[in-house]
């Protein structure tokens, strides 16, 4: 009986919309735009998060990352602007730092990294890529796999052999087939390297376009300052992270001032970046909410007009036995349905946009966004519909029935 009654209300409201298509559509437009923008913004926020996570997950787990400058400290006024090697000034790490850090017994891997963007030449092609000087453990912590050939070893490092491993994209650009690269010679600046391997593509721009060489080989020529921008400390045991961070700081403080370098772990960077994006997201959602609010007021406005238009109908219904609550439900059903209709339309359009944008950027919709869209639009329907519906319910039956 109850359900039947509810269904009757929905059906009556829908028939009403059918007779007033244009007005119903225009009324729900505000909610549609509001939900559309809120859902898109959530999708964009999630997309950015996904993108960043992908970037970080291309590094192996349990990494301590050391770089010059300071991202986390407010006391130094550093902030995100100083993020990343080379921006901050601060310490220039050298081989001595690297070697001292290798004495941390809890760290299974210690990997120094020098990197600069350069033009890379084969016999026939010139491509833009990233020249990197590092050690043989880099392949481990970067999770690289060979597509062809092999990676360089510790003895290549000590012997300063002029060998290089190419990222798959770069190899593709320089040679007809990335597999042809092995055995060929490439040139970076004045320096020649023999290609001994190609690393499988990972989706990381820098690594996929990288020329990875033993760092000692690059000293004096491509890395004339003999410095590193980043030093990675890796462990297989998550529990050692804190110890490694503490000991790395102790070691570096012997040579550098506090604030000249940052010792952090990848999850910390991730959470800093996430924090910044949640603030940006909150602002965007607040903007979207304003259009929801405006949409809600639009619905309220139309519902007041509808109540006035149907004053006589209210009187008739009251005469044949409708209670105040029945009348309230009738008008509330209309405003909620209008609102949900607008919300669903917004959701559908947002989903289509997400499907299209997805080809270029990892935006995503989740159940939360869908839930929010529906909950918010029905909430708005109820909130803004309740005032006009109350007016209808409180109409004195006689005055309503005499209304012309």
Kindly list the residues in this chain that would bind other proteins in the complex (CB under 8 A): 1, 5, 8, 16, 19, 312-313, 315-326, 397-398, 401
Length of the chain as a residue count: 404
Q: How far is the CB of 9 from other proteins (least distance, A)?
A: 9
Closer by beta carbon to other proteins, 64 or else 314: 314
* 135: phi then psi, degrees, rounded to nearest 5: -115, 180
Residue 14: C-alpha distances to residues 78, 176, 299, 336, 387 (Å):
58, 63, 16, 11, 21
Helix or strand run (H / E) with residue 148: strand 146-149
Whether the Cβ atoms of residue 133 and residue 165 lie closer than 8 Å to each other: no
CA-nearest of 284, 295, 294, 287 to 345 is: 295
In 3D, which of 402, 394, 383, 382 has the Cα closest to residue 323? 394
CB of 14 vs other proteins, minimal distance in Å: 13
We find the least distance from the C-beta atom of residue 319 to other proteins, in angstroms, to be 5
State the minimum distance, in angstroms, from the CB of residue 378 to other proteins.
23
In the three-class reduction of DSSP (H, G, I as helix; E, B as strand; rest coil), residue 195 is classed as strand
Residue closer to other proteins by CB (options 286, 319) is 319
Q: Which of 66, 34, 23 is nearest to 284 (CA)?
A: 34
In degrees, to the nearest 5, what angle opens at C-alpha 76 toward C-alphas 70 and 80? Answer: 45
* Signed CA dihedral, 227, 230, 234, 239: sign only: positive
Q: In angstroms, what is the minimal distance from the CB of 403 to other proteins?
A: 11
* Least distance CB 23 / other proteins (angstroms): 13
* Least distance CB 21 / other proteins (angstroms): 14
Closest CB to other proteins among residues 10, 297:
10
Query: Which residues does residue 110 pair with via DSSP β-bridges, in sequence order?
Result: 233
Nearer to other proteins, 355 or 398 (CB): 398
Residue whose CB is less far from other proteins, 308 or 323: 323
Strands 210-214 and 126-134: parallel
Residue 142, both tokens: 């970067």
CB closer to other proteins, 66 vs 328 = 328
| Number of neighbouring beta carbons within 10 Å of residue 169 | 19
CA distance 207 to 125: 19
Between 240 and 333, CB nearer to other proteins: 333
Q: Please report how close the Cβ of residue 42 comes to other proteins at its closest, in angstroms.
A: 39
Q: Which is nearer to other proteins, 212 or 307 (CB)?
A: 307
Structure tokens at 75: 């006391």
């Amino acid at each position: 009986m109850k359900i039947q009654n509810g269904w009757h209300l929905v059906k009556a409201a829908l028939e009403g919309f059918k007779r007033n298509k244009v007005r119903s559509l225009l009324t729900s437009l505000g909610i549609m735009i509001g939900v559309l923008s809120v859902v898109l913004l959530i999708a964009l926020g999630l997309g950015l998060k996904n993108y960043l996570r992908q970037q970080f997950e291309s590094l192996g787990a349990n990494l301590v990352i050391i770089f010059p400058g300071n991202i986390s400290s407010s006391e130094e006024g550093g902030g995100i602007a100083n993020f990343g090697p080379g921006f901050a000034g601060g310490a220039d790490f050298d081989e001595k730092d690297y070697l001292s850090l290798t004495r941390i017994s809890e760290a299974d891997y210690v990997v120094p990294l020098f990197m600069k963007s350069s033009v890379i030449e084969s016999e026939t092609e010139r491509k833009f890529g990233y020249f990197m000087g590092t050690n043989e453990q880099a392949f481990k912590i970067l999770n690289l796999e060979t597509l062809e050939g092999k990676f360089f070893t510790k003895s290549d490092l000590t012997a300063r052999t002029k060998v290089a491993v190419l990222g798959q994209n770069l190899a593709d650009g320089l040679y007809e087939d990335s597999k042809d690269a092995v055995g060929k010679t490439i040139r970076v600046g004045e320096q020649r390297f023999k290609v001994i391997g190609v690393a499988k593509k990972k989706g990381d721009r820098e690594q996929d376009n990288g020329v990875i060489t033993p760092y000692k080989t690059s000293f004096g020529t491509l890395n004339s300052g003999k410095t590193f921008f980043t030093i990675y400390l890796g462990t297989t045991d998550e529990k050692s992270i804190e110890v490694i961070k503490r000991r790395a700081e102790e070691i570096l403080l012997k040579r550098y001032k506090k604030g000249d370098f940052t010792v952090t772990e990848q999850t910390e960077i991730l959470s800093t970046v996430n924090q910044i994006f949640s603030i940006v997201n909150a602002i965007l959602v607040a903007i979207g909410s304003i259009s929801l609010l405006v949409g809600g007021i639009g619905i309220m406005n139309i519902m007041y007009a509808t109540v006035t238009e149907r004053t006589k109908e209210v009187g008739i219904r009251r005469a044949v036995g409708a209670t105040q609550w029945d009348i309230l439900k009738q008008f509330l059903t209309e405003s909620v349905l209008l609102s949900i209709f607008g919300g669903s339309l917004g959701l559908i359009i947002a989903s289509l946009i997400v499907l299209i944008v997805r080809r270029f950027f990892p935006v995503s919709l989740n159940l939360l966004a869908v839930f929010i869209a529906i909950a918010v639009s029905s909430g708005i329907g109820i909130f803004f519909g309740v005032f006009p519906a109350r007016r209808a319910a409180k109409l004195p039956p006689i005055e309503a029935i005499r209304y012309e």
